Amino acid sequence: MEARLPSQDDPEVSTAVRHLYTDAERAALALAEAATRLQDGAPGVTDEVWAAAAEHFDEKQLGALTLEIALTNFFNRINHTLREQAGKTW
């Protein structure tokens, strides 16, 4: 049997870990996921995702969160391009 990674869309997984995160953390994670998934046909950051994050974070915090998401994605892409394991060399 092939191993299967948990998916955020899997109701069993999301229910099992939902209590581990606050509503604000879940909104931030949803924003990060939407901003990151661009190449697989995902819609990106929808108005609904942004509005959910804006319920928990002010404009300055949303800006910082967006910058952190972008910076993390940037380093992940650099590491992938150079075939470097994240955090191993820099």
In tens, the pLDDT along 3-57 reads 454 555 665 556 667 778 899 999 999 999 999 987 788 888 999 999 999 999 9
CB contact at 8 A, 51 and 70 = no
pLDDT at 71 over 80: yes
pTM of the entire predicted model:
0.75
Tokens of 52: 């959910």
Hey, what's the torsion of the CAs at 32, 36, 41, 45, to 10 degrees? 40
Q: How far apart are CA 23 and CA 73, in angstroms?
A: 23
